[in-house]
Each structure stands twice: as structure tokens, then as C-alpha cells.
């Protein structure tokens, strides 16, 4: 079985080809980088980087009551961070998301229901704060904007294709004597 390191250096490395020889040979790496253990370690580090959003909720924000914390997490997963692109406040490490998580936890400890917390956040930030905004007159552009643009683009492409099909292609005009002489000179060239 050929290791991933050997494949990489055989086929992808421009330095793998030895001068004077037409054959690609694997390069040897220094000891700390050689071996499949280092490749596995690199993969583990990369996978750990993908788990960083899970650490967005700081330990100081966690409520002592597990039931309230569970409700806060569910609400946090349903609310959008207003400065991040389509990321929940539970996953975001932005300062605004931290303030929003704190506000959710304060409202829950004050005794508000989940609906009251959502209403408070919508009153403060608008319907945009909800990852699943309600279908109403104020949010029509959120729900119908993308499909409408897709239909308009499709109609424009269809019209352009129909015009191009019905437009006859004009025949090129014949060359005059000067152009014919220049062409002959270029071809004999």
C-alpha cells in the first residue's frame, strides 16, 4: 500500500523529479514531518478547528440551572447573529452574539417564556434576527426574493436565446483588392 505522503511527493511535487532523469521519485522529509503519524496529527488538528464554533458559549455565560441552560441553547440556535452571515448566536463568537446570548439568559432567569424571549429579540432587532422568519408582509422579500430573482434570470436567458435563434447571421462581406493582396502576402510570408 502506498502512503499518502508518497503519493503526494510522487505526483504533485515539482521537486520530486530528479534532474537528468525523467522519472518522478518521492522526496524524503525531515524526521518531524515524515510518517503517517504526523499526517494523522495534522488531520486531527484540522478537525479540531471545525469544532471551534461549539466553544462560542463561554463558561461564564452558562446558567447554573440545566433546564434553563437547555432552553437558552435552543433559543440561541434559533436566533441569527446580526453581524455574522447566517450563523446562530449560539455558534458565533462575535461580541454582538455574546450580548444577545446574555440578554436571552437574563430574560429566561427573569421568568419569561420562550415566546416572550423571541418577541423581545424581534422587537429589538427585527424579524431578521430569526433564522426562520415568519411568512408575513414584512418578510416577503426574505422568502420570495431569491425565487423571484431566479425566475427573472431564467426569463432573461430564455428571451436572449430566442432572439439569438431568430436573428439571421449576416454573411461576411467579400474582401476588396487591398485586403486580398495583404492576405496573399501573409500566406506566402
Q: 3-state class of 35 per DSSP?
A: coil
Mean residue pLDDT across the chain:
79
24 and 79 housed in the same domain: no
Is residue 106 assigned to a domain? Answer: yes
Is residue 70 assigned to a domain? Answer: yes
Q: Which residues contact 73 (CB under 8 A, 6 or more apart)?
A: 57, 90
Is residue 15 assigned to a domain? Answer: yes
Number of domains in the chain: 2
Which domain-ending residue is among 31, 50, 69? 50
Which domain-ending residue is among 129, 163, 181? 129
Give the sign of the dihedral formed by CA 135, CA 141, CA 142, CA 148: positive
Is residue 136 assigned to a domain? Answer: no
Q: Which residues contact 9 (CB under 8 A, 6 or more apart)?
A: 16, 26, 27
Is residue 110 assigned to a domain? Answer: yes
**Domain containing residue 113: CATH number:** 1.10.8.640
Phi, psi for residue 171 in degrees, rounded to 5: -70, 140
Is residue 180 assigned to a domain? Answer: no
Taking the C-alpha atoms of residue 105 and residue 71, their distance in angstroms, rounded to an integer, is 9
Q: What is the pLDDT averaged over residues 79-108?
A: 90
Lowest mean pLDDT among 50-54, 143-147, 167-171, 180-184: 50-54
pLDDT in tens, 108-155: 999 999 999 999 999 999 888 998 888 888 788 878 888 999 999 999
**Across the chain, which distance is largest between two alpha carbons, in Å?**
94
Q: What is the DSSP string of 125-187?
A: H-GGGBSS---SGGGHHHHHHHHHHHHHHHHHHHHHHHHHHHSPPPPPPPP-HHHHHHHHHHH
Taking the C-alpha atoms of residue 182 and residue 100, their distance in angstroms, rounded to an integer, is 75
Supply the pTM of this predicted model: 0.50
Is residue 118 assigned to a domain? Answer: yes
pLDDT in tens, 51-75: 554 445 666 677 778 888 899 999 9
63 and 125 housed in the same domain: yes
| Domain interval for residue 24 | 4-50
Is residue 142 assigned to a domain? Answer: no
Amino acid at each position: 500500500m502506498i502512503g499518502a505522503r508518497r503519493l503526494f511527493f510522487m505526483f504533485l511535487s515539482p521537486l520530486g523529479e530528479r534532474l537528468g532523469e525523467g522519472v518522478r521519485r518521492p522526496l524524503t522529509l525531515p524526521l518531524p514531518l515524515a510518517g503517517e503519524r504526523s499526517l494523522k496529527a495534522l488531520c486531527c488538528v484540522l478537525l479540531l478547528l471545525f469544532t471551534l464554533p461549539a466553544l462560542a458559549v463561554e463558561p461564564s455565560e452558562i446558567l447554573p440551572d440545566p433546564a434553563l441552560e437547555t432552553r437558552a441553547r435552543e433559543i440561541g440556535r434559533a436566533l441569527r447573529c446580526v453581524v455574522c452571515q447566517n450563523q446562530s448566536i449560539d455558534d458565533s463568537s462575535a461580541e454582538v452574539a455574546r450580548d444577545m446570548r446574555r440578554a436571552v439568559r437574563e430574560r429566561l432567569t427573569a421568568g419569561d417564556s420562550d415566546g416572550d424571549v423571541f418577541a423581545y429579540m424581534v422587537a429589538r432587532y427585527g424579524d431578521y434576527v430569526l433564522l426562520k422568519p415568519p411568512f408575513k408582509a414584512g418578510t416577503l422579500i426574505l422568502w420570495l426574493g431569491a425565487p423571484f430573482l431566479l425566475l427573472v434570470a431564467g426569463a432573461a436567458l430564455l428571451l436572449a436565446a430566442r432572439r439569438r435563434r431568430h436573428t439571421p447571421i449576416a454573411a461576411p462581406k467579400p474582401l476588396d483588392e487591398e485586403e486580398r493582396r495583404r492576405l496573399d502576402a501573409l500566406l506566402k510570408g
